[in-house]
Amino acid sequence: MNDHEYDVVIVGSGIAGSVLTKTLTQAGKKVLLLEAGLQAGIAFDAEKNFQNYQYYLNTFYKAGAKVPNSPYPNIEDAQSINVLDIEKITPENKPTTNGYLVQEGPLPFASDCLRGPGGTTLHWLGSTPRMLPNDFRMKTEYGVGVDWPITYDELKPYYEMAENEIGISGDVEDQKVPEKVVGDKTIYYNVDRTYGKDYVFPMKKIPQSYLDKVCMNRSKGLKVELNKVVYDIVYSSTPQGRNSIPDPRYKLTGITWDQRAKKLVLHRKDDYEYQPVGSNWDPYTGQRCEGNASCVPICPVQAKYNALKTLRKSDPEYLAIITQAVASRIFYDKGSNDITGIEYKKYKYADSTVFETKVAKGKIYVLAASAIENAKILLASGIANSSDQVGRNLMDHFVMLTWGLLPEKGFPYRGPGSTTNISTFRDGTFRKEHSAWISPIDNWGWAWPTFAPGTDLSNALSEGMFGKKLRAHLNDVITRQLLLHFECEQIPDPNNRVTIDPKYKDQLGNYRPVIQYQSTEYMNKAMEAAKKVSDQIFKAYGVEDFTDYTMKNADAVKYNGKVYNFWGAGHIVGTHRMGSSKEHSVVNPDQRTWDHDNLYLVGCGNMPTIGTSNPTLTMTALSFKAAESILKQLEKNEDHGSTFSKKQFETT
């Protein structure tokens, strides 16, 4: 293998890596994809793919704690973060070293991701609201955080590509969310401007749940007061990456590289009919969401999008995939600063300590290994860090949960995890004081905070209930459970960070991420405010509040004399942020590192702020932007004469 066998070497087959792999190979660029997880998970053969997925599903059924990573192999050679490993950090036990992360605290980082083929899209919920225009200019509008180096309008064409690729079901009209309150008037974002006149999603909205309707009916015209400002409670159906009924008005066919215009183009065809993308083993399975109510951790029919659907669209003629290959270090030329190779360790089989160390070579290199893993690899290599921002500004949504019993049956534990959100506090001048938040109505009862309904059963049994009385009691209690999320935006904090320490390595000798994480006044104030809002909403619904916060919880803070608990959202963001100057950021708006001309980073790590949106859609939009920049760069070089022959090469 010569030094430039491949045009691009990509680390990671999650959604960012898969979008790049698909886009670049379809444009005729040779890609080597390195994936840390097991070979079985990538199976392109339908039969093997089905068998492997059934193995995941049965592992999920058999799991005692059905947490996000429970269906998937957790390989010693490429460990995933597991939320079951999170524990309270005290001066006596710190750092905690359970599982993969080393947590120095003071608060434990409570979110996980999946290292394996398809990445975290295997267990993601699939909610895909876009970020709001003001999310891109937090510093200018509200004096907190940082501005993005690009605007909402600049990202808009890439949002359309991401929505096409994932296959979004949603109603654009419902995305008319409040921007601010002026006097007693709520000003809304104009969707004709934010989405464009006549823009529609590929599929109609996923039906909102019966529970959503109960909540909405019980709170018609509801206003809540917070810090002397009165807000309308506004409900929005949640756009999501799962299949529903195609919208006949959607005419965008797909994305290709326009060599002459040097840009990615999302094509339109007037007689086009969108076709939902089914499962990876059978295109006719998963054409619609079937209501399995298990999106996290696994959609049995793959009606929910996962990155392997995108990866499978790659042109196999230009693609080589090496699995069980864990990227460990990146080499660079000290003169030019150009990257010269990525070292990876290929382990023999799951949990094996036997591995070979190899170096992957290409013209351009892309890290798409997750926000935490990308930062870790950069730190281990001592590169891309002239700004000292690598690993810093680690963010997540603080998910404050409130739960209670409705006065009538809402019938939770049915349908996708969430189909409606309260969008009232996604934006507003209050962001000068505290975080914004999005409030999804959770369709799955109290499962998250209390491990219901199993705990409802054990509580009833401990009271001596059995037989018909037990059955009636469970029916009464479980069907009335309501859970609201308050997913609070975390602001970039340089002290929330990923570092490495030679004391902590995995069995292949790769670094384990060391995490420092804390809450700030801005967050705590948001939880205080959110609880006040929750109280008013619960009152309107007639809900009996069973919310119980305790300092015993792993993530607990005390603010103004009251205890608040929060949970991780699984939205790991910000560890190698994009910016407009090389002094304050790791990548530029093209997603290319400031320090190395042939190194790109993709994924949520590039996001300078998190907003109130689930980050996958925005990150996917940025990945298309990265693909376009890479193609531009490759073709600029090719214009100077360094093309090479197309040839089929083996998949290792």
Q: Which is nearer to another protein, 298 or 366 (CB)?
A: 298
CB 367 within 8 A of CB 356: no
In the bound state with another protein, the residue whose beta carbon lies nearer, of 239 and 391, is 239
Long-range contact list for 472-481, CB < 8 A, 24+ apart?
A: 477/405, 478/412, 478/413, 478/445, 478/452, 478/453, 479/409, 479/410, 479/411, 479/412, 480/405, 480/406, 480/407, 480/408, 480/409, 480/410, 481/403, 481/405, 481/406, 481/410, 481/412, 481/445, 481/446, 481/452
- Cite the beta strand spans of 185-240 per DSSP E: 185-188, 223-226, 229-232, 235-237
Amino acid symbol at 417: G
Give the nearer residue to another protein in terms of CB position, either 304 or 309: 304
Our CB check for another protein shows the closer of 140 and 475 to be 475
Residue (244 or 524) nearer to another protein, CB: 244
Helix axes 616-639, 15-26, angle to 10 degrees: 30
- The residue among 69 and 598 lying less far from another protein, judged by its C-beta, is 69
Q: Judged by CB, which is closer to another protein: 242, or 363?
A: 242
Supply the minimum distance, in Å, between the C-beta of residue 85 and another protein: 17
Question: For the chain, how many residues are written?
Answer: 652
Phi and psi at 492, nearest 5°, equal -60, 130
Comparing CB distances to another protein, the nearer of 393 and 481 is: 481
Would you say 187 or 461 has its CB closer to another protein? 461
In the complex, minimum distance from the CB of residue 605 to another protein, in angstroms, rounded to a whole number: 31
Write the CB contacts of 62 (distance below 8 Å, at least 6 apart in sequence). Answer: none
Q: Are 289 and 205 in contact (CB under 8 A)?
A: no
d(CA 14, CA 37): 11
Nearest to 130 by CA among 415, 357, 388, 427: 427
Residue 183 host element (H or E): none
Of 208 and 402, nearer to another protein (C-beta) is 208
Give Cα 610 to chain centroid, integer Å. 11
Cβ distance to another protein smaller for residue 294 or 499 = 294
Q: How many helices (H) and strands (E) are present in the chain, helices listed first?
A: 13, 26
**Beta 252-258 vs 229-232: how paired, if at all?**
unpaired
Q: What is the CA radius of gyration of the chain?
A: 24
Q: Closest separation between CB of residue 396 and another protein, Å?
A: 24
Q: For residues 154 and 628, is the Cβ–Cβ distance under 8 A? A: no
Closest to another protein by CB, 232 or 290: 290
Choose between 52 and 510: whose C-beta lies nearer to another protein.
52
The CA–CA distances, whole Å, from 421 to 41, 388, 484 equal 33, 37, 9
- Provide CB contacts within 8 A for 299, sequence distance 6+: 242, 286, 292, 306
Largest CA distance in the chain: 81
Give the nearest distance from C-beta 411 to another protein in angstroms. 6
Q: Is 232 left (phi over 0), alpha (psi -120 to 50) or beta?
A: beta
625 half-sphere exposure, CB direction, 13 A CA radius: 25
Q: Do 212 and 415 touch, CB atoms closer than 8 A?
A: no
Chain residues binding another protein by CB under 8 A are: 57-58, 60-64, 66, 207-210, 213, 244, 288-294, 298, 300-301, 409, 411-416, 419, 443-444, 453-454, 457-458, 461-462, 464, 466-472, 474-475, 478-479
Looking at beta carbons only, is 358 or 409 nearer to another protein? 409
Minimal distance in Å, beta carbon 59 to another protein? 9
Contacts of 360 (CB under 8 A, 6+ apart): 6, 9, 32, 34, 322, 325, 341, 342, 344
Question: What are 260's two structure tokens?
Answer: 């002459």
Three-class DSSP category at 515: strand
Could you give the CA distance from residue 571 to residue 242 in angstroms, rounded to a whole number? 19
Sorted by sequence, the CB contacts under 8 Å of residue 21 that are 6+ apart come out as 10, 13, 31, 33, 310, 311, 314, 319
